[in-house]
Amino acid sequence: MADAASVTIVDYGLGNLGSVANMLRRLCRTPEITGDPARIARARALILPGVGHFDRGTRELDRLGLRAALDEQVLGRQVPVLGICLGAQLLARSSEEGTSRGLGWIAADVRRFRFERGHELAIPHMGWNEVEPADPVFFRGHEPGETRFYFVHSFHIVCDDPRAVAARSHYGSPFVAAVRDRHIWGAQFHPEKSHRHGMTVLANWLSYVDEANRAS
């Protein structure tokens, strides 16, 4: 794919980098993994993965000098970005998991799962769950009943504007499973661990990336 944009995976010490890179290779991409702000400043597409604590994620982005580079790319140059798990939560303004400021690219905050007394479920939510797609671009190619994805999380995104919700799922109560605001995409689930369903989501994002880069 000579006109395919390269993909830069942001390494800030908390990501499931190998699995994401391997899935991209299966989709005929050669990803770059880097925590160097100068290299991120040249990226044409970004993936922000992540597992772990919200505040630790924001601290590492700041410590490595990545916040400013990412802001310039995503907000300034409109470079497509996909956040995964913690990376998706970092797109929001804040999280109940900590006190640090998120990237704030999505008008949203992150909340802990809360259950009615007597109906408590295990936290973290871990395993396969059906999602209800709300964004046809994000979930293009998925047939009804073929939207099962792998989750590991104790917190979930709450969007100000329901139009930013790309998918919902259910764990005790409905929660946001994916977000999208133009070129900013986020998946609470792990597409890189979700077999062919996750591969389809990543392929859809790559198609969007290629279209965006051809138009720029």
Residues serving a catalytic function are 85, 190, 192
Residue 110 β-bridge partners: 95, 157
Asked whether the beta carbons of 189 and 178 are under 8 A apart, the reply is yes
Q: What are phi and psi of 107, to 5 degrees?
A: -75, 85
What does the block give as tokens for 190?
Answer: 């792990």
SS3 state of residue 58: helix
Cα 186 to chain centroid distance, Å, stands at: 3
Q: Going by C-beta distance under 8 Å and a sequence separation of 6 or more, which residues neighbour residue 102?
A: 54, 58, 89, 90, 91, 92, 93, 94, 95, 110
Asked whether the beta carbons of 200 and 167 are under 8 A apart, the reply is no
What does the block give as tokens for 132?
Answer: 């209800």
SS3 state of residue 109: strand
